[in-house]
Amino acid sequence: MSEDRIEQSILDRIQEYKDRGCIVPSIDLIKTPSQIEGIKASSGINTLVLDEVGKVIHEGMSTQEIDDIVAKVTADNGAICAPLHFEGYPKSVCTSINDEVCHGIPMRHRKLRDGDIVNVDVSTIYKGYFSDASRMFMIGHVSEDNRRLVEETKKCLDIGAKAAKPWGFVGDIGYAISHYARSKGYSVVSELGGHGVGIAFHEDPFIAHIGRKNTGMLLVPGMVFTIEPMINMGRPQVEIDPINQWTIYTVDHKPSAQWEHTFLITETGNEILTY
């Protein structure tokens, strides 16, 4: 795609799938070359922010300190923290510990303890373009069960990525992730999932981490979205914090893990943008 437009051959092939009755993306979900370059620049900063957190995260650190680092590094690179004030969210990053599935709110009094597993979820806006990724960190002496959960959840992300192919379907991703996770004795959160990203924080399609092959929206070169499996050690059900109305917990309070990348569907496979 040398010009800043979508190739006609891609549009023609989308029409062929639509004529077969498939769910196809709207044209605005297929990014142009200049939009892709903007999203890549945002993703580079997003990766840098997570790298900086990874250098200093440690036992005894408060989750607010993580938020402070994310805010500073993002601003120093001319970018904006996407979560801050998004639908009322009060902080620059999400820090989710142990049985917190996602959307943990950083706090000065919340300290990382020996044995904790924590997800740090960073989202960046740079020159109007959005990116999104998260990593798990293991603090101190982590139990073997928790370590295995973290490692297997990363494998779920990698397996989901391999299933994200041009002219495949969203359901292929969810099938691959859930099949693997359940084979290892884990459950998969179904209420939450990945999402389109790039021009807005959350776009279509919804990327479920459970699914059936050859179902859901068609995957087309130029689509950008996150894959972010949330894998539970116990039951798959979750509940929202009744007080802050943001943090999602496992109902049985057993640990949960999550890894996330932003992906671009290409003509030959996909590219991880939040490398």
Give me the residue spans of the domains in the chain.
Answer: 22-272
State the pLDDT at residue 5.
82
Are 189 and 101 in contact, with CB atoms under 8 Å apart? Answer: yes
CATH architecture classification, 22-272: Alpha-Beta Complex (3.90)
Longest CA–CA span in the chain (Å) reads: 58
176 φ/ψ angles, rounded to the nearest 5 degrees:
-60, -45
State the pLDDT at residue 2.
45
Dihedral sign (CA 106, 108, 111, 112): positive
Q: What is the DSSP string of 35-73?
A: HHHHHHHHHHHHHHHHHHHHHH--TT-BHHHHHHHHHHH
How many residues are present in the chain?
A: 275
CA dist 206 to 85, 131, 189, 197, 211, Å?
22, 16, 14, 10, 12
Question: CA 209 to CA 229: how far, in whole Å?
Answer: 6
Positions of the chain with pLDDT under 70: 1-3
State the pLDDT at residue 1.
40
Would you tell me how many other CB atoms lie within 10 Å of the CB of residue 243?
7
Question: CA 203 to CA 209: how far, in whole Å?
Answer: 16
Helix (H, G, I), strand (E, B) or coil at 105: coil
Both tokens assigned to 54: 């990874």
Question: CA 196 to CA 18: how far, in whole Å?
Answer: 20
Would you tell me how many other CB atoms lie within 10 Å of the CB of residue 22?
16
H-run or E-run covering 258:
strand 256-258
